[in-house]
Amino acid sequence: MSRPVISATGLYTPPNSISNAELVESFNAWADQWNAQNADDIAAGRVQPKPHSSVEFIEKASGIKARYVVDKDGVLDPKRMTPNIAERPNEQISILAEIAVKSAQEALAKAGREGKEIDAVICAASNMQRAYPAMAIEVQAALGAQGFAFDMNVACSSATFGIQTAADFVRAGHAKTVLMVNPEICSGHLNFTDRDSHFIFGDVSTAVLVESDDRAPKGGWSILGTHLKTVFSNNIRNNFGFLNRGDPDGVGKSDKLFVQEGRKVFKEVVPMVAAMINEEMDRLGIKSAELRRMWLHQANAGMNRLIAERVLGHEATEDESPTVLDTYANTSSAGSIIAFHKHSADFKPGEKGLICSFGAGYSAGTVFVEKTA
Ligand code: COA
């Protein structure tokens, strides 16, 4: 049986970054404008005024300092508060496929592969821009890849679910080179007028090449074991869909974008993920002292601190559990892959690490890897 190896990763970062100060300034201008428009109802006590957001709160509650976005002007325009991303004709590559291809090209170049050597493409992401044809098939066509392609959505856990799926294809002999991409335009599903969550997400794309060990170039990452878990919860939802579109005036729009009970998510997901990691380490016979690094899902610095502590038995250093939240914010499925991509070059052969994601569903996935010579 072929053994799956992560042979390379790729990252595409959009050119525009929005700082917390810029985001808060635009939110506060929107809130002032809303309060002025609703002054009579506010004075009569029929509606509550919109309070201001604050840079200090955002940084303290989440660890986020900035985020990259595909369109900065639309997000920061207090009259718009949503990215301005033009619909494209069918003849033009879609924006999601375009950023996926950019991240894939870096992974392919690093592995010394051409698009035609790919046997399967999986587009694993939270925020798909259409129902069909699959973005993965568009990526397959753009890269000149072979075989088959499909989209899958497991919210923030999409990448680890995608890696296990790719690894299973390799183990079963259905494919030898699988490209798994995570294009996330989170700014499209974020409600920038919701003070509790307007700061959470950013845009990005990541790519992971999973190959059989007899084909992968030297120096890849042997996949030691993967484990997936889902437990139903209403605490993170996005109800948008072709049966639930919300009306164009925005009435009923709020649950057609990202909504969450952040406190409950924090309390329920931390123990679930920490227990899952510890059980998987027992199953694989890996001691916490052997774990050189954890590339955790990037949602909240506090959650990652607690999860890492429950696994390592001590507070994790930045070296043991690196964060990219400060510059990228939460990029949904791509977060743990950005952390892996940016913070793995110093690994020596034989050293072990963990890619771990968690999020809506609830869903969680672990991928233990070992650097090869
Ligand atoms: N600016 C200023 N104050 C704000 C604010 C903002 N942008 N947003 C909320 N607040 C206020 C709240 O109104 C509340 O005020 P109150 O105490 O007077 O009621 C207070 O700050 C605390 O709000 P709360 O929502 O309880 O904050 P928190 O410490 O739980 O942090 C999250 C909020 C979302 C950052 C945090 O809960 C979190 O990250 N949870 C996990 C989220 C997650 O991982 N989701 C998964 C997505 S994949």
**Distance, CA of 96 to CA of 73 (rounded, Å):** 19
Ranking 247-256, 261-270, 331-340, 354-363 by mean pLDDT, the lowest is 247-256
| Residue predicted with more confidence, 5 or 249 | 5
Does position 250 have pLDDT exceeding 70, yes or no? Answer: no
The residue-averaged pLDDT of 98-127 equals: 97
- Report, as residue numbers or ranges, the catalytic residues: 156
Looking at this protein, which amino acid is placed at residue 120?
A: A
Pocket probe for ligand 1: among 300, 305, 356, 363, the residue whose CB has the most ligand atoms within 8 Å is 300
Domain residue ranges of the chain, discontinuous segments joined by +: 222-371
Task: Give me the percent of the chain exceeding a pLDDT of 70.
Answer: 98
According to CATH, the topology of domain 222-371 is Peroxisomal Thiolase; Chain A, domain 1 (3.40.47)
Q: How far apart are CA 125 and CA 294, in angstroms?
A: 21
pLDDT value for 248: 59
pLDDT, greater one: 250 or 125: 125
User: Residue 289, Cβ neighbours under 10 Å: how many?
Assistant: 8
The whole-number pLDDT of residue 254 equals 77
Distance from the alpha carbon of residue 364 to the mean position of ligand 1, in angstroms: 22
The pLDDT value given to residue 230 = 98
Closest residue by CA, ligand 1 atom 48: 359
Which of 112-116, 140-144, 237-241 is least confident?
237-241
167-211: pLDDT as tens digits = 999 999 999 999 999 999 999 999 999 999 999 999 999 999 999
Index of the ligand 1 atom closest to the CA of residue 195? 7
Average pLDDT over all residues of the chain: 96
In angstroms, what is the span from residue 246 Cα to ligand 1's centroid? 25
Distance 156 CA to ligand 1 centre (A): 19
Binding pocket residue ranges, ligand 1, CB within 6 Å:
53-54, 57-58, 61-62, 156, 195-196, 236, 260, 262-263, 265-266, 299-300, 303, 330, 359
- CB contact burial 227-252 (16+ within 10 A = b; e otherwise): bbbeeebebbbbebeeeeeeeeeeee
Ramachandran angles phi, psi of 365, nearest 5°: -145, 145
Select from 236, 263, 323 the residue to mutate for testing ligand 1; criterion: most ligand atoms less than 8 Å from CB: 263
Where do runs of H (alpha helix) occur along the chain? 20-37, 39-43, 55-62, 72-76, 95-111, 135-143, 158-172, 262-284, 301-312, 325-328, 335-342
- Over range 150-162, report the average pLDDT: 98
- C-alpha to C-alpha distance for 31 and 198, rounded to whole angstroms: 12
User: Are residues 299 and 336 in contact, defined by beta-carbon separation less than 8 angstroms?
Assistant: no
